[in-house]
Structure 1
Amino acid sequence: MSRKAREKSKSGIYHIMMRGINRQCIFEDEEDCTKFLRVLEQYKDKCGYEIYAYCLMGNHVHLLLKVGEEPLEQVMRRICGSYVYWYNLKYDRIGSLFQDRFKSEPVEDEAYLLTVLRYIHQNPLTAGLVKDIEKYKWSSYSEYVEKVKLVNIDYVLEMLNEDRGKAIKIFIKYNHELNNDVCLDMSEKNRITDEEARTIIKKVCNIRNVTEMQTFDILTRDKYLKELKEKYCLSVRQLERLTGINRGVVLKA
């Protein structure tokens, strides 16, 4: 059965999502995240693309990108190929790292571009990794409000207001707004089921029943909760439901 043709963007702007094969984590530590961002920067001039937003999560990546000289498929082959080559050398592994081909959706107007940008920046908040989006280290949010490193912030900020100071204030307020935005993401069938989550919790914590986590001392409990959220991408809601540990505790860990 042939694959469905990728929908082309008239504006050249795409929201892109890449996921680790078999839900595998693709960023084990900070060095991995730093390397991926360096790869993005390395090919930015070579391929002629612009980046408006990014967020690196445990087992997936979101990008908001505008293609330039090279088509999207070629750009992503360069980015993925370079990172996977480095990753496999570091961890002494072979084979694919990303699952299937990357997903993409065209972004054709300013309103949806802002929606996608907010959705990307709120990913860590939605996943329960942080309580404030500015606390997450591996998204482009800080580049808009602190120091630019990789992202073209002018395109978005000039869209919000001609005055840079006012534009940043509008940006901050908009990115913190509660919403029901629905954008490109991992389909529900690819999310970690409760059965799979129980298996992960038992293996990581070396316990026979997931509710045994309630008996751990605070430091041990919080260490495992942090690992289960960040490395294995279990959601706060799922951990609360399966372990019986209070949501506030899971969120804070």
Structure 2
Amino acid sequence: MPRKARKKSESGIYHMMMRRINRQSIFEDEEDCVKFIQTIQQYKEKSGYQIYAYCLMGNHVHLLLKIGKEPLEQIMRRICGSYVYWYNSKYQRIGNLFQDRFKSEPVESETYFLILLRYIHQNPVKAGLVRDVEQYKWSSFIEYINKTEVVDVDFALEIFNGDRETAKNSFTQYIRGANDDICLDIEEKHRITDEEARDIIKKVCHVENASDIQKADIAIRNAYLKELKDRYSLSIRQIERLTGINRGIVLKT
């Protein structure tokens, strides 16, 4: 079936979500997160877009931006292509990192813009990663409160109030507010517990203990690791933790 046409935004503002193939992690350490944020910043002038919010969530990313000189598809090709080139070089891998087609939705009203602003910044809280939006290092929330580096904060803050300090306080209260917001996101599968993962490893690798896979022939071991990632969606960190095999080896399989 042909792909459904992407909805165009009359305002030029879009909420995008992109995730990694097989739902694996996009960011293995803090350097990866820093690099992705730098990449967003790098292409702002060239592509002419404005960033209103971002949140890096392990195996997916949320962006809220307004297009400028270039269409959305070109912007995303630049950002994703640059990051993947760097990531593959760092981890000595080849091939795609992100799914072929990112998800997007147009933002045509001020009300929905604010809902998205809250939804994106509350992602880590609702995922149980932190208790407060301010505690999460890899979202744009802190740029609205302290030093602005990547995000164009004026547009959103002026919606709250003309006075900057009053606007920041109102913004903070709104973002932290309880809500039942439902926006574009990934469809989460059942999260595999360590106990379930151990059973999968023992069954797939034909071992009595998960760590026994270390004793296997390298070619056989690597084939098992690839199957655990691709077929059973075990995370790289989970495989490393349960088998004792170095993360770099798991990444390369």
TM-score of the alignment, normalized to the shorter chain, above 0.5:
yes
Pair 1:88 & 2:88 matched: yes
Among all aligned residue pairs of Structure 1 and Structure 2, give the percentage whose two residues are the same amino acid: 61
SS at match of 2:171: helix
Partner of 1:125: 125
CA RMSD of aligned residues (A): 2.4
How far apart in 2 are the matches of 1:110 and 1:57? 25
Partner of 1:24: 24
Partner of 2:97: 97
SS at match of 1:3: coil
State the one-letter code of the partner of 2:134: E
Q: How many positions carry a matched residue from both structures?
A: 210
Cα shift readout 1:189-247 (whole Å, capped 9, x = no counterpart):
xx23255775446689xx979xxxxxxxxxxxxxxxxxx99966xxxxxxxxxxxxxxx
Change (3 A) 1:80 1:164: same
How far apart in 2 are the matches of 1:156 and 1:14? 14
Contact persistence 1:14–1:66 (CA under 8 A): yes
SS at match of 1:38: helix
Cα shift readout 1:161-204 (whole Å, capped 9, x = no counterpart):
011111001000000100000000012xxx23255775446689
Cα shift readout 1:38-57 (whole Å, capped 9, x = no counterpart):
11011000000000000001
Change (3 A) 1:142 1:178: same
Larger of the two Rg values belongs to structure: 2
Runs of at least 5 residues in structure 2 that lack an aligned partner in the other structure = 202-207, 211-233, 239-253
How far apart in 1 are the matches of 2:50 and 2:115? 18
Partner of 1:193: 190
Q: CA deviation at 1:34?
A: 0.5
Q: CA deviation at 1:92?
A: 0.6
Q: How does 1:42-61 map to 2 (within 5 A)?
A: 42-61=42-61
When normalised by structure 1's length, the TM-score is 0.78
SS at match of 2:104: strand
State the one-letter code of the partner of 1:60: H
Pair 1:146 & 2:146 matched: yes
Contact persistence 2:25–2:236 (CA under 8 A): no
How far apart in 2 are the matches of 1:231 and 1:53? 27
How far apart in 1 are the matches of 2:236 and 2:150? 24
Runs of at least 5 residues in structure 1 that lack an aligned partner in the other structure = 210-227, 233-253
